[in-house]
Amino acid sequence: MQKVLSYIEKNQDRFLEELKDFLRIPSISNNAENKKDVLRCAHYVADQLRQIGMQQTQLFPTSGHPIVYGEWLGAPGQPAILCYGHYDVQPVDPLDLWISGPFDPTIRNGEIFARGSVDDKGQVLMNFKGVEAHLKSEGKLPVNVKFLIEGEEEVGSANLDHFIVNHKELLKADVVLISDTPMFDRGVPSICYGLRGLVYCQIDLKGTNSDLHSGSFGGTVINPNFALAQIIMSLKDREGRIQIPGFYDDVLPMSPEEKQELARLPFNEEKYQKDLGAPAPFGEKGYGTLERIWVRPTLELNGLCGGFIGEGAKTVIPAKAMAKISMRLVPNQDPDKIADLFERYVKQIASPSVELTVTRMHGGKAWVAPIDHPAIQAASRAFEKAFGKRPVFVREGGSIPVVATFAELLGLPSVLMGIGLPDENAHAPNEKLDLFNFQTGIAGSAHFFNEMKQE
Ligand code: BES
Ligand code: MN
Ligand code: MN
């Protein structure tokens, strides 16, 4: 590994320049006007794959954004690692809160600021460079490697499952490697062994054909804003417990062993509140913050709109109101069943004086893995070698729905070696990536391929 590690050391500056080029491409998958940029980004990924020595590199068009694939299969008899990541990024609004432009990567205090730096371009590039270091210094990799980098993760991976089903042979592997999660804290290398699932719905309410004068019509028809507020107020009680009948039925309790492990983590509730600027903790009774994130499902109101929100006052009854609502799920909860329960309940509590539509958007299953799996143990050794510290095992509240898909459709275990930090502003203004973690993560990635080698 010495040659591999010194290659990483020597090429540090170039890796950073390549990261900047990657980050300059505004690959916002959610914006139709960025479609060409997303395509350009897919080509950037393919060019990278070719440069680092992958073969069969190609773009697979989908009805949305392309999937990029490349492989190196020169280690017969050795396992194959399927590396998954995404090259698309979240929208940048509110733009005025960015200190430097979201697509003008800027380094301040050892951190690179740009949309996509931590989620997920920096972590994708980290695995590219881990592979490159082997191929360019040793002429080979200790194991076989395949890359599957998609451009629609941030919009629900609508075309990915279909692609996986139709390319089972191409994607044949022994284990999936994903770097798209945060570390527990700065200086605490972490392996993630659990993710929450997701159900995302939109509720549309229509009261009347048009907005109405609230003097002429007030009191004669329902106000959709009120009807919506009533629905929302019935979803949770004041302590945050979800009121949808059956919602918690399939939730599994945390095992005593896992509870013990959790209690060992260096977590400070007070600091957590303070860093977030929250006046007081809030959440489901009987659970600590980490349990609330790891093993408890939630329901969030992601956005609301209805009626007049401009300057001044306008006496109006809006014709329509809308809410975006998502639920984070935990292992054993079925997204379709939860979506059914949600829809049935909302229809039951909605006022009959309003027309209600529930639209299901994307979703996915939660996931949890046994930490004694040999590939997870290999990841642990790899991070220990790179960071000089034994990693902790954590679960996360976010979702990567394809992880459950890999398990179900391909029978593949996943290893989540993320090097983001919880305060790196993923999805928010001033997204950033710690450059020490980027650099050390490249070594961690290189070590992982080595640790996966079978004697
Ligand atoms: N990288 C995140 C997933 C993530 C975030 C894992 C935080 C662990 C902790 C990913 O890019 C993401 O944002 N996923 C979406 C999924 C959705 C669009 C289906 C999410 O979690 O909201
Ligand atoms: Mn991500
Ligand atoms: Mn994301």
Look up residue 97 and give its amino acid.
L
Q: Which of 117, 399, 415, 419 to mutate to test the pocket of ligand 1 (most atoms within 8 A of CB)?
A: 399
C-alpha–C-alpha distance, residues 81 and 451, integer Å? 12
C-alpha–C-alpha distance, residues 427 and 398, integer Å? 12
Residues less than 5 Å from ion ligand 3, measured at CB = 119
Could you write out the DSSP letters of every residue in 125-165?
Answer: HHHHHHHHHHHHHHSS-SSEEEEEEES-GGGT-TTHHHHHH
Per-residue pLDDT, 291: 96
Q: List C-alpha distances in Å: 355 to 207, 287, 321, 346.
A: 6, 38, 10, 12
C-alpha–C-alpha distance, residues 69 and 57, integer Å? 5
Model confidence pLDDT, tens digit, residues 176-199: 999 999 999 999 999 999 999 999
Q: Which of 28, 30, 123, 180 to mutate to test the pocket of ligand 1 (most atoms within 8 A of CB)?
A: 180
Per-residue pLDDT, 355: 98
Q: One digit per residue, pLDDT tens: the chain, 455 residues?
A: 999 999 999 999 999 999 999 999 999 999 999 999 999 999 999 999 999 999 999 999 999 999 999 999 999 999 999 999 999 999 999 999 999 999 999 999 999 999 999 999 999 999 999 999 999 999 999 999 999 999 999 999 999 999 999 999 999 999 999 999 999 999 999 999 999 999 999 999 999 999 999 999 999 999 999 999 999 999 999 989 999 999 999 999 999 999 999 999 999 999 999 999 999 889 999 999 999 999 999 999 999 999 999 999 999 999 999 999 999 999 999 999 999 999 999 999 999 999 999 999 989 999 999 999 999 999 999 999 999 999 999 999 999 999 999 999 999 999 999 999 999 999 999 999 999 999 999 999 999 999 999 98
C-alpha–C-alpha distance, residues 224 and 203, integer Å? 11
Question: Residue ranges of the domains in the chain?
Answer: 2-195+366-451, 197-251+297-364
Per-residue pLDDT, 152: 98
Identify the residue whose tokens are 């009948």: 245
Per-residue pLDDT, 155: 94
**Which residues carry out catalysis?**
88, 153
C-alpha–C-alpha distance, residues 355 and 342, integer Å? 17
Of the bound ligands, which one is closest to the alpha carbon of residue 403?
1
Helical residues (DSSP H) of 180-268, grouped into ranges = 214-217, 224-233, 256-264
The residues with which 263 forms a beta bridge, in sequence order, are none
Q: How far is the CA of 417 from the centre of ligand 1 (A)?
A: 14
* DSSP three-state, residue 403: helix
Superfamily of domain 2-195+366-451: Zn peptidases (3.40.630.10)
Q: How far is the CA of 179 from the centre of ligand 2 (A)?
A: 8
Around ligand 1, the residues with Cβ closer than 6 Å are: 119-120, 153-154, 156, 180-182, 195, 198, 362, 364, 396, 398-401
- Kindly report the backbone phi and psi dihedral angles of residue 115, in degrees, each rounded to the nearest multiple of 5, phi listed first: -65, 130
C-alpha–C-alpha distance, residues 31 and 38, integer Å? 10
Give the dihedral sign, CA 236/240/243/248.
positive
Of the bound ligands, which one is closest to the alpha carbon of residue 28?
3
Give the H or E element holding residue 21.
helix 12-23
Q: How far is the CA of 399 from the centre of ligand 1 (A)?
A: 4
Query: Which atom of ligand 1 sits closest to the CA of residue 86?
Result: 11
Q: Which of 153, 184, 326 to mutate to test the pocket of ligand 1 (most atoms within 8 A of CB)?
A: 153
C-alpha–C-alpha distance, residues 439 and 133, integer Å? 12
Atom 20 of ligand 1 has which residue's CA nearest to it? 399
Give the H or E element holding residue 386.
helix 374-387
Atom 13 of ligand 1 has which residue's CA nearest to it? 154
Q: How far is the CA of 119 from the centre of ligand 2 (A)?
A: 4
C-alpha–C-alpha distance, residues 182 and 296, integer Å? 19
The residues with which 212 forms a beta bridge, in sequence order, are 317
* DSSP three-state, residue 48: helix
Q: List C-alpha distances in Å: 113 to 97, 101, 183.
A: 13, 9, 18
Residues near 335 by beta carbon (within 8 Å), at least 6 away in sequence? 197, 198, 199, 329, 363, 364, 365
Per-residue pLDDT, 49: 98
Q: How far is the CA of 441 from the centre of ligand 1 (A)?
A: 20
Model confidence pLDDT, tens digit, residues 219-246: 999 999 999 999 999 999 998 999 999 9
Intra-chain end-to-end CA distance of the chain, in Å: 16
Residues near 114 by beta carbon (within 8 Å), at least 6 away in sequence? 20, 23, 24, 102, 103, 104, 105, 106, 431, 432
* DSSP three-state, residue 308: coil
Tokens of 26: 């505004």
Q: How far is the CA of 400 from the centre of ligand 1 (A)?
A: 6
Per-residue pLDDT, 281: 86
Neighbours of 59 (CB within 10 A): 16
Query: Which atom of ligand 1 sits closest to the CA of residue 157?
Result: 19
Q: CATH code for 197-251+297-364?
A: 3.30.70.360
Atom 19 of ligand 1 has which residue's CA nearest to it? 156
Query: Which atom of ligand 1 sits closest to the CA of residue 154?
Result: 18
C-alpha–C-alpha distance, residues 440 and 123, integer Å? 11
C-alpha–C-alpha distance, residues 354 and 344, integer Å? 16
